[in-house]
């Protein structure tokens, strides 16, 4: 997509899988017809002018919170009459198709386009992903992967051409599978763990695994992994021969500043102060 200005924030270098995010502030502009090979969601944050032309048709009264949806490989032309602040989310059709098959047992699904509407869940997801990218770019992959799955399920529920009955997974993971997942997580905290990797270990789909794991533990996989990393860091801090950067690396954080930020969130203090108080 050729916009006048580059995005202010982009997940391009963050290593996200199945989903991408760009945060834009663009002047008035006109874009000729283009085709994006991804399911694309435009989330409006602010508009100077409230009119847009899409495929030759003028749409008025755009306000913050509007969500537009363009299915993959659909041609689109746009003309913005004033400055606009927005987030672009793209979902890989392969990721979407995989989630669709897991959720409704079908491989052929059509997403309905939407030029302007309200969807509080997509709006909040986009802001959460933007915040995660701004705060924790190097450590945001697992969070983004989880959100890609959740967003795909939401698109299936609300924007399929035909109403879909989503499978209702209940009961949590069998105890032996939960133990296997927890053991694997704790033995690989220093690595970049992915939802697909853990699900594959248990011979389950990522969506199925994430749903049942949360039912069993009360936490989404990315939340549980972060909690395990902080608990392991607390144990390692008792060994004063280890430096803070060594501990940071051993519990899987890519930067010491992010490690300190997350540690403070979970313990109300920094690793350095926590060690002094031991």
pLDDT digits (tens, 9 = 90+) for 244-268: 999 999 999 999 999 999 999 999 9
Short-list 164, 47, 54, 68, CA closest to 108: 164
267 and 133 co-located in one domain: no
Same-domain pairing of 102 and 18: yes
Give me the residues of the chain with pLDDT under 70, please. Answer: 1, 101-108, 163-168
Is 60 part of any domain? yes
Q: Do 152 and 183 reside in the same domain of the chain?
A: no
Q: How far is CA 250 from CA 140, 198, 243, in A?
A: 17, 19, 11
Kindly state whether residue 165 falls inside one of the protein's structural domains: no
In this structure, what CATH number is given to the domain that contains residue 69? 2.60.120.280
Residue 164 lies in a domain: no
CA dihedral 33, 36, 41, 47 (to 10 degrees): -30
Identify the domain boundary among 159, 189, 209: 159
Answer yes or no: do 114 and 223 share one domain.
Answer: no
pLDDT in the model for residue 167: 65
Q: Are residues 207 and 114 in the same domain?
A: no
Q: What is the pLDDT of residue 58?
A: 84
Answer with the one of 159, 187, 219 that is the final residue of a domain: 159
Shared-domain flag, residues 16 and 134? yes
CATH code, 221: 1.10.10.60
User: What pLDDT was estimated at residue 140?
Assistant: 92
**Distance of alpha carbon 150 from alpha carbon 145, whole angstroms:** 9
Look at the alpha carbons of 127, 128, 129, 130 in this order and tell me if their dihedral is positive or negative: positive
Q: How many domains does the chain have?
A: 2
Give domain status of residue 193, yes or no: yes
Q: Is there a single domain that holds both residue 71 and residue 144?
A: yes
Sign of the torsion formed by the C-alpha atoms of 25, 257, 12 and 149: negative
Last residue of a domain, one of 124, 159, 194: 159
Residue matched to tokens 């004033």: 82
**What pLDDT is attached to residue 166?**
62
Of 84, 89, 66, the C-alpha closest to 26 is: 84
Point out which residues pair with 52 in neighbouring strands. 59, 80
Tell whether 28 and 73 lie within a shared domain: yes
Structure confidence at residue 270 (pLDDT): 97
> In this predicted structure, what is the pLDDT of residue 137?
81
Whole-structure pTM over 0.85, yes or no? yes
pLDDT at residue 139, rounded to an integer: 87
Order of strands, sheet of 29-35, starting from the edge strand that comes earlier in the sequence:
29-35, 75-80, 51-54, 57-60
- Considering Cα of 112, then 116, then 117, then 118, what sign does the dihedral take? positive
Range of the domain at 143: 9-159
> Which pLDDT belongs to residue 193?
94
3 located within any domain: no
- C-beta separation of 116 from 66 below 8 A: yes
């Amino acid at each position: 997509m050729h916009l006048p200005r580059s995005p202010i924030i982009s997940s391009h270098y963050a290593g996200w899988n199945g989903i991408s995010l760009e945060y834009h502030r663009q002047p008035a502009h006109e874009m000729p017809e283009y085709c994006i090979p991804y399911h694309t969601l435009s989330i409006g944050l602010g508009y100077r002018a409230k009119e847009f032309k899409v495929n030759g048709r003028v749409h008025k009264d755009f306000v913050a919170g509007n969500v537009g949806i363009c299915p993959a490989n659909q041609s689109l032309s746009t003309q913005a009459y004033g400055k606009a602040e927005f987030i672009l989310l793209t979902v890989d059709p392969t990721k979407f198709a995989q989630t669709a098959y897991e959720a409704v047992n079908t491989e052929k699904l059509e997403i309905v386009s939407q030029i302007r509407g309200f969807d509080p869940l997509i709006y909040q997801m986009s802001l959460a992903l933007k915040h995660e990218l701004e705060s924790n770019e190097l450590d945001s992959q697992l969070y983004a992967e989880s959100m890609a799955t959740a967003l795909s399920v939401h698109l299936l529920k609300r924007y399929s051409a035909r109403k879909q009955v989503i499978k209702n997974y209940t009961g949590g993971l069998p105890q032996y599978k939960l133990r296997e997942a927890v053991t694997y997580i704790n033995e690989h905290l220093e690595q970049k763990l992915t939802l697909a990797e853990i699900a594959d270990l248990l011979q389950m789909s990522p969506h199925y695994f994430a749903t049942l794991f949360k039912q069993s533990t009360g936490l989404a996989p990315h939340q549980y992994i972060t909690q395990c990393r902080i608990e392991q860091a607390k144990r390692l801090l008792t060994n004063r021969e280890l430096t803070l950067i060594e501990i940071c690396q051993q519990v899987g954080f890519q930067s010491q500043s992010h490690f300190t930020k997350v540690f403070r969130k979970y313990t109300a203090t920094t690793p350095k102060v926590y060690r002094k108080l031991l």
